[in-house]
Amino acid sequence: MFLSNSTLGEVVWTQVKFKVNAYLGTLVSLIVVQILGLILSMNGTSSMSTNFNNTDFQIVWITADTVIIFVSIWALFLGNVITTKGYRNTNFSFVTNGISNNLSNIIVLIIMSVFAGVTTFLSHYILRLVVPLFNDVGYVKSGSIIDDPLSSIASMGLMVGLILMISAGGYLWGTLVYIHRAYMFLLIVLIITLPTTKTGQMILQFIFADNGSLFVLNVKFVCVAIIFFVLAMLSSYRLEVRR
């Protein structure tokens, strides 16, 4: 009798290749979401009017914030959807076990987050190009990647960290709901209580405010993502498939 012995690393790598290939469709949805966000950003995200010496000034900030919000929702959805029954059963049609399935999902989410983060960061350059074409108002451009590469890379990294954290949240959410539907209510309660109670506010403040630099914030994002992923792995260890 000949038994093939696959190491965990080999299986995870094979699955990552397979999943990136199989989930390419999600990148199309990402691009659609980004374009939608860009269209909605054209009119500016916030504005301020002022009067100075009988001259009216209107200052409009045009940012890619809407794109970021849209992509965040996309990331939450992505993390969630790959834990659903259909995706799970699909993965178990090939060689896998619970650990390799989780690890490959996580790696795929990291790859997708890097792609989504970088493209989302770059998407505001499209605004810089397109917006001046449609009206002739004076524009003050903020620094670009060429003016200040370091801070641009830091923002890009922050975007990746943010998207990764949100997709990890979606992944944990999906895993818990897959284990038992009742977790849905628990999570909704948690999401409502977090910003409305004192302890919740303290936690949120610790993570998202009180940061010396973008780098520290990003490290916190990644740490939260790791915590989410580890919790998802621990809770799904005894999970069955094709029930």
Partner 1 sequence: MTIIDCQNLKKRYKRLNALEDITFQLEEKKITGLIGRNGAGKTTLLKILAGFIRKSSGDIQVFSNNPFNNLRVSANSILVDDQMSFPDSLTLADILEVAPDFYKRWDTELANNLFKYFRLNPKQLHSRLSKGNRATFNMIFGLATRCELTMFDEPTNGMDEAVRSDFYRALLKDYIAHPRSILISSHHLAEMEHLLEDILLIHKGKVIFHQSLEEIKDYAVALQGPTDVVEKMTVGKEILHTKQMDSQRKYVVIRTEDVPAIEGVKIHPVTASDVCMYVTSDRKGGIDDVFK
| Residues found near partner 1 in the complex (CB under 8 A) | 1-6, 8, 11, 14, 17-18, 21-25, 86-87, 89-90, 92-100, 237-238, 240-243
Q: How far is the CB of 37 from partner 1 (least distance, A)?
A: 24
Q: How far is the CB of 30 from partner 1 (least distance, A)?
A: 15
Q: How far is the CB of 25 from partner 1 (least distance, A)?
A: 5
Tell me how many degrees the CA angle 120-80-101 measures, rounded to the nearest 5: 105
Residue 98 · residue 239 · CB < 8 Å? yes
Q: Is 49 helix (H, G, I), strand (E, B) or coil?
A: strand
Q: How far is the CB of 18 from partner 1 (least distance, A)?
A: 5
Q: How far is the CB of 212 from partner 1 (least distance, A)?
A: 43
Give the list of residues 6+ apart from residue 121 with CB closer than 8 angstroms, or none: 64, 152, 155, 156, 159
Show the tokens assigned to 173: 């959410």
Q: Which is closer to partner 1, CB of 92 or CB of 207?
A: 92
Which residue stretches of the chain are H helix?
8-22, 24-41, 65-81, 85-91, 98-134, 149-179, 183-196, 198-208, 214-235
Spatial distance between the Cα atoms of 7 and 204, rounded to a whole number of angstroms: 40
**Residue 3 phi, psi dihedral angles, 5° rounding:** -110, 130
Q: Is 47 helix (H, G, I), strand (E, B) or coil?
A: strand
Conformation bin of residue 54: beta by default, left when phi > 0, alpha when psi is -120 to 50: left
Q: How far is the CB of 23 from partner 1 (least distance, A)?
A: 7
Q: Which is closer to partner 1, CB of 25 or CB of 212?
A: 25
